[in-house]
Amino acid sequence: MNVSKGWVLGAWFAFLLACVVVVVRTDFTADLSAFLPRSPTPAQEILVEQLRSGAVSRLILVGIEGGATDALAEVSKRLAASLRRQELFALIANGEDAVSDMDRDFLWRNRYLLSPAVTPGRYSVQALRERLEANLHLLGSPVGMFVRRVLPNDPTGEFMALVERLQGASRPAMQHGVWFSRDGQRALLIAQTRAAGGDIDAQQRALAVIRGAFAEAAGDRTASLLVSGPGVFSVHSRERIKNDAWRFALIATALVAGLLLALYRSPRVLGLGLLPVASGALAGVAAVSLGFGAVHGITLGFGVTLLGEGVDYAIYLFTQSTPATAPHRTLERIWPTLRLGVLTSICGFSAMLLSDFTGLAQLGLFSISGLIVAVIVTRAVLPVLLPPGFSTPAADAFGPGVVSLARRAPLLRLPLLAIVALAAVYLTLRGGSLWSDDLARLSPVPARDQLLDQQLRRDVGAPDVRYVVVADSKEEQDALEASENLSAALERSVRQGWLEGYESPSSFLPSVRTQRARQAALPAAETLRENLHQALSGLPFRPNLFDPFLKDVAAAKEVPPLDRASLEGTGLAMRLDSLLVKRANSWTAMLPLRGVSDTGGVTREIGAVREGHVALLDVKRESNALYHTYRREALAYSLLGAGAIVVLLFASLRSPRRVFDVLAPLAAAVIVVTAVLVASGQELSIFHLVGLLLVVAVGSNYSLFFDRQMPSVQDRQRTVVSLLFANMSTIIGFGVLSFSEVPVLNAIGTTVGLGAIMALVFAAILSRREEVG
Amino acid sequence: MTCGNRLALHHLLAVLLVAAAGAGAFASPVTARPESWGVEQLMRSLGQVKSARGRFVERKHLAILDAPLELSGTLVYTAPGRLEKHTLRPKEESLVLERDTLTVSTGGQRRTLVLQDYPVVWAFVESIRSTLAGDLQTLNRFYEVALEGTEAQWHLLLKPSAPKMQSVVSEIRIGGSRNWISTIEILETEGDRSVMTVSRDAS
């Protein structure tokens, strides 16, 4: 006995140690894209990539408010200067210099390759004459000074056209030389991190640097800092989920511990009661870490919910033990029922394991491995550690009362039937979908933060990135050519008034074919000299003024075409990289649209473009569609899980009638909980579905125990009391979660908390087992 | 090759304001007769002008041209801050300065700028507007102000104090007699020069 005891404990310790080793090395993430699928359509794949690591994901919007305008502007300038020295950021913009000197220099040197105006007719005598006369007029006008400086090199005005296009149509308002919101209350700054938005550690560092730099820049001025953006959201969400998970885990543990202490009046038993759960949670985290490489914060938060079911096993054992029987005897007696309960739960959770939702699959794996370990610890370790002759007074104290309640419960059958019927009718007649397909509802970002984000986005004039035209091609050059053709189509759409504007990778890097065509359009040196000579006759320009122009054109005709490397070091390179992305087997050009008013028109125009695989992506619709697919899939898996439970019950109980008895309370609970949730105004998400699955998994234990044949009244009493205690711990575990503001935790907590009570009460009401003795 | 890359848009818009600024302050019968005459007295007498009209001729001497460019048209000032410059030759163009906005119209195109967005432009605007309005305080904010000559023939010399402005313009000279501005001369850092003369509008 002692030897085998030693082996059991030794094996258990070794297992826990191994788990700890794994857990210590685990990465914890809160990447929201874990709640995006793994195998979507190509367009959705691009979307998910963009959300995870695209330029959009790397944007941090900064607002500085709460002071006098000139003070805010000063803080903005100091902050920008300090952030520009940081390696973390690829771009810092606050309006001080919309186009940097390096960008200007690049545009200036390569104007003949970059300007769309470079076409064969542009250098004829007549065209040159027109440009020269226009320039003469400009010299007398407001822009004269600027024209004067560039005129000798660029009489056709390519450079100015490029700068104007780059500065874009929508720019924030300016005050004291920096960007401000329209109402002048807030100075604005944009930071783009080098690291992906999904790299939360890097985002957190960037955020800390911004905060530090702001404190320094503000000095003793009164000003407050606002930050927003996908990375900021990820960082805050991780914090919030971590906080909630820990806080609620601690609160629930304390409450459950209090309950156990009150029931069993023994710190030792309390400690033993928590052992299976603690071991299970540890094993669950370790299993997820091994299976997925990282553990999502939400999975961790789910540890609390495991408490709900895991503690039950110990409670069944403790409460049903009597002084006369050794703990392992009690276990042998309840084991078949307990085992079936665990298997039922595992069937339920397997459904989640199959999900494409990485987050859900993690929850599934976590729960399954956690429950298996918890039940094994209950079976093998607890009897070894329980004092001999252990019994709880609680069972005897509560027993008679609880049992008499349970005995009278079946009187409520008719009212229950009426309630279930009512709920079912309500759900059927209510019409419309029960489910919300708005992904935003799942976002752990509080509404006020989302509002701030929208405000800053509007102030800055950042694209809302709802519509993006995407072209996928095998080669980089094909993608660039596709984006040139798309630009032409979008240009036509702008003229039609279907959209306000767009960005295209080909503005920063034209395809080699186009660059060659522009070079070919530039006339030979002699021709140009002769044309210019004729065009200048009678105009007051100084002789030889335009020699630099002749030289620049001759040089531009000969230079090798630009490629990505030519842009290195400029701000343009970063903008190009955000619009032209190299993927595993292809190149994707992205053209974000601004102010779209007619998607149909735009779709028709871009439909004519043949290069590559072209699509207009509606990000909001795609992500919601994505989620819709997901939810349908989760529903299918849940039904599959439910089917597996039925099969399992048939195989174990071998009686349709008993299977019905076990399932009826669960079905009733699911229907009524759903109706209550819907009636209280909740739109059901995928997480409510998971909650319902848990109701079935946890509730099946109750009805299985109710269904079990009892040898004596005492046994009956102990069983019913153990169910009540188990139920209380479940309600505590999940009920606490329903106070979380994180939608995932809240949805699961509310659903399971409600469902667990109902499952127990309904099981008592519907129980057909007559008391023995 | 050195050009272009250092120019921000507001530099070029600055020039536009030089032009806009070339407005005269025009006739008024009121003439102050103080004990001793100086900047403050000049400003006070200019400030009493409520409205004025004039014709201008502007000559731009540019290094890149063989001959100066000549523009002409009308100027209209209404106290305290509205100034219109209508160029009629060689091509029509109008600039309207009102409070803190400047509207430029050429050949059917119209563009409005908010002065606060363009500090250099703002400095230009104030060189003329503050002079017209007799607002010495504002003038001192943007320029070192010096006065030469007598009440009958004076020259106000404005040297920009902000570095950005200094890189564009070295000096603005406003000449006049009593409360009438008759010449505005702008000397640019790169040697180009523009001179505007304003005459009373007979109409």
Is there a contact between A101 and B14 if contact means CB atoms under 8 Å apart? Answer: no
Q: Answer whether A569's CB lies under 8 Å from A104's CB.
A: no
pTM above 0.80, yes or no: no
Nearest CA in chain A to B164: A177
Q: State residue A514 phi and psi, 5-degree precision.
A: -65, -40
Over residues A702-727, the pLDDT tens digits come to 888 887 777 777 777 778 888 888 88
- Which H helix or E strand runs over A147? helix A144-150
**Mean per-residue pLDDT, A309-321:** 82
Identify residue A171 by its one-letter amino acid code. R
Is there a contact between A541 and B7 if contact means CB atoms under 8 Å apart? Answer: no
Nearest CA in chain A to B188: A145
Q: Determine which of B11, B59, B117, B124 to mutate to test the interface with A (most A C-beta atoms within 10 Å).
A: B117
Tell me whether strands A294-296 and A27-29 are parallel, antiparallel or unpaired. parallel
Is there a contact between A108 and B5 if contact means CB atoms under 8 Å apart? Answer: yes
Q: Determine which of A146, A175, A178 to mutate to test the interface with B (most B C-beta atoms within 10 Å).
A: A146
Residue A770: predicted pLDDT:
55
Question: Would you give the distance in Å from CA A476 to the centre of its chain?
Answer: 30
Q: Give the one of B5, B11, B60 whose C-beta lies nearest to A101's C-beta.
A: B5
Residue A444: predicted pLDDT:
63
Nearest CA in chain B to A136: B69
- Which residues of chain B neighbour A167 with C-beta distances below 8 Å? 9
Q: How many contiguous H segments (helices) and E segments (strands) does chain A have? A: 30, 13
CA distances from B112 to A19, A275, B10, B125 (A): 68, 74, 13, 14
Q: How far is A238 from chain B (nearest CA, A)?
A: 40
**Mean per-residue pLDDT, B152-179:** 89
pLDDT: is A15 or A242 the higher one?
Answer: A15
Q: Determine which of B1, B5, B91 to mutate to test the interface with A (most A C-beta atoms within 10 Å).
A: B5
Tokens linked to A694: 């848990």
Cβ neighbour number for residue B12 with a 10 Å cutoff? 23
Nearest CA in chain B to A95: B117
Over residues A394-409, the pLDDT tens digits come to 667 777 787 788 778 8
B59 touches chain A (CB under 8 A): no
Q: How open is the CA angle A57-A61-A62, to the nearest 5 degrees?
A: 150
Token pair 């099946």 is found at A700
Q: Give the one of B66, B91, B116 whose C-beta lies nearest to A542's C-beta.
A: B66
Over residues A184-218, the pLDDT tens digits come to 889 999 888 888 877 788 889 999 999 999 999 98
Check pLDDT > 50 for residue B8: no
A-contacting residues in B 16-55 (Cβ below 8 Å): 16-17, 19-20
Looking at every residue in chain A, the average pLDDT score rounds to: 83
Tokens linked to A130: 């027109």
Q: Answer whether A642's CB lies under 8 Å from A390's CB.
A: no
- Which residues of chain A neighbour B65 with C-beta distances below 8 Å? 139, 540-542
Is there a contact between B64 and A152 if contact means CB atoms under 8 Å apart? Answer: yes
Q: What is the 3-state secondary structure (H, E, C) of B68-128?
A: CEEEEEEEEEECCCEEEEEEEECCCEEEEEECCEEEEEECCEEEEEEHHHCHHHHHHHHHH
pLDDT: is A441 or A480 the higher one?
Answer: A480
Q: Give the one of A108, A139, A145 whose C-beta lies nearest to B11's C-beta.
A: A145
Beta bridge partners of B56: B73, B198
Check pLDDT > 70 for residue A569: yes
Residue B26: predicted pLDDT:
40
A520 confidence band (pLDDT: 50, 70, 90): very high
Q: Give the one of B12, B62, B117 whose C-beta lies nearest to A174's C-beta.
A: B117
Is there a contact between B71 and A140 if contact means CB atoms under 8 Å apart? Answer: yes
Is there a contact between B16 and A97 if contact means CB atoms under 8 Å apart? Answer: no
A23 confidence band (pLDDT: 50, 70, 90): confident
B123 touches chain A (CB under 8 A): no
Over residues A641-690, the pLDDT tens digits come to 888 888 988 988 888 988 888 899 999 999 999 999 998 888 888 778 87
Is there a contact between B62 and A167 if contact means CB atoms under 8 Å apart? Answer: no
Is there a contact between A540 and B16 if contact means CB atoms under 8 Å apart? Answer: no
- Which residues of chain A neighbour B71 with C-beta distances below 8 Å? 140
Identify residue A366 by its one-letter amino acid code. F
Output DSSP code: residue A469.
Answer: E
The Cα–Cα gap between A444 and A292 comes to 22
- Which residues of chain A neighbour B11 with C-beta distances below 8 Å? 145-146
Beta bridge partners of A588: A472, A581
Check pLDDT > 50 for residue B7: no
pLDDT: is B202 or A530 the higher one?
Answer: A530
Residue A364: predicted pLDDT:
85
Output DSSP code: residue A184.
Answer: S
Highest averaged pLDDT of the listed ranges A93-107, A424-438, A703-717, B83-97: B83-97
**Mean per-residue pLDDT, A247-266:** 83
Q: Give the one of A142, A151, A541 whose C-beta lies nearest to B13's C-beta.
A: A142
The Cα–Cα gap between B24 and B19 comes to 12
Tokens linked to A393: 């007074």
**Mean per-residue pLDDT, B110-119:** 71
Residue A494: helix, strand or coil by DSSP?
A: helix
**Mean per-residue pLDDT, A123-149:** 83
Q: How far is A175 from chain B (nearest CA, A)?
A: 5
Over residues A95-120, the pLDDT tens digits come to 776 567 788 889 999 999 999 889 98
Q: Determine which of B3, B89, B97, B189 to mutate to test the interface with A (most A C-beta atoms within 10 Å).
A: B3
B152 touches chain A (CB under 8 A): no
The Cα–Cα gap between A662 and A701 comes to 9
Q: Give the one of A143, A167, A545 whose C-beta lies nearest to B12's C-beta.
A: A143
Q: State residue B90 phi and psi, 5-degree precision.
A: -75, -15
Residue A244: predicted pLDDT:
79
Q: How many inter-chain contacts (A to B, CB under 8 Å) are there?
A: 101
Is there a contact between B66 and A541 if contact means CB atoms under 8 Å apart? Answer: yes
- Which residues of chain A neighbour B192 with C-beta distances below 8 Å? 145, 148
Tokens linked to A396: 């005897």
Q: Answer whether A522's CB lies under 8 Å from A615's CB.
A: no
- Where helices occur in A589-655 by DSSP H, the ranges are 599-607, 619-653
The Cα–Cα gap between A717 and A694 comes to 26
Residue A551: predicted pLDDT:
95
Q: Answer whether A101's CB lies under 8 Å from A93's CB.
A: no
Is there a contact between A145 and B17 if contact means CB atoms under 8 Å apart? Answer: no
B92 touches chain A (CB under 8 A): no
Is there a contact between B66 and A154 if contact means CB atoms under 8 Å apart? Answer: no
Tokens linked to A320: 């049903």
Helix then strand then coil, in percent of chain B rounded to 5, is 25, 45, 30
Is there a contact between B91 and A151 if contact means CB atoms under 8 Å apart? Answer: no
- Which residues of chain A neighbour B188 with C-beta distances below 8 Å? 145
Q: How far is A619 from chain B (nearest CA, A)?
A: 34
Is there a contact between B15 and A104 if contact means CB atoms under 8 Å apart? Answer: no
| Percent of chain A predicted with pLDDT > 90 | 21
